[in-house]
Amino acid sequence: MAEKRKVNILAILPIVIFAALVAAFFIPGLGRDDPKNIPSTRVGSPAPALFVGEDQAAGTGFNDKTLRSPGIKMVNFWASWCGPCRAEHPNLMKLAEGGLRIYGVNYKDRPEDAARFLAGLGDPFTAILSDTKGRNGIEWGVTGVPESMLIDSNGVILWHFRGPITQSIIDKQMQPILDANK
């Protein structure tokens, strides 16, 4: 009889372990309120140095000095192959039309594809830096595109958002920062 009980316990042990793993994966962010809201270690720190690659066309792009110029500006990592980048694009256009300087970092993309994307949808960017190898993305802590940061006059990152900028994000997260830094 004892041998039969031992077999039954061994038979259900994989099921119990699987159920425990499933439960662990469904705990939101393993303790965070919103698993999509990954805190950025860059907020409050100076923007990392920018790498300008050899594929950058002469007279284009921007540099560290640009990011330390007066006023709030946005750095937006994007790509023509990125669906969420296409979804956020109308909101970037509105922000640019409203006077926000947006500096684009074209991430792991071919320059000709980026040019075609902007020709079709409009160009919200004050300047664009080509990051075909993703080096700037690594330095800036980018985990995927789109990602955006607001930078102050001292080159300090005030806000970092992963994902497409929606009107709700503009109203609830960006606008208070923009208003506080006028």
Tell me which residue has tokens 């110029």.
69
Residue 127: give the domain boundaries. 45-180
Q: Is residue 95 part of a domain?
A: yes
Phi and psi of 50, rounded to 5°?
-95, 140
Q: Is residue 9 part of a domain?
A: no
Q: Is residue 115 part of a domain?
A: yes
Model confidence, pTM: 0.78
Listing from the earlier edge strand, what are the strands of the sheet with 157-162? 127-131, 101-107, 73-78, 147-151, 157-162
pLDDT at 58: 52
Q: Is residue 30 part of a domain?
A: no
Which residues of the chain carry a pLDDT beneath 70? 1-8, 23-40, 53-60
Q: Is residue 166 part of a domain?
A: yes
CB 140 within 8 A of CB 108: no
CB 83 within 8 A of CB 48: no
CA distances from 149 to 85, 107, 166 (A): 15, 15, 14
pLDDT at 24: 66
- Count the domains in the chain: 1
Q: Is residue 162 part of a domain?
A: yes
Q: Is residue 79 part of a domain?
A: yes
pLDDT at 14: 74
Q: Is residue 27 part of a domain?
A: no
Whichever domain contains 129, its CATH number is 3.40.30.10
pLDDT at 35: 46
Task: End-to-end CA distance of the chain: give it in Å, rounded.
Answer: 79
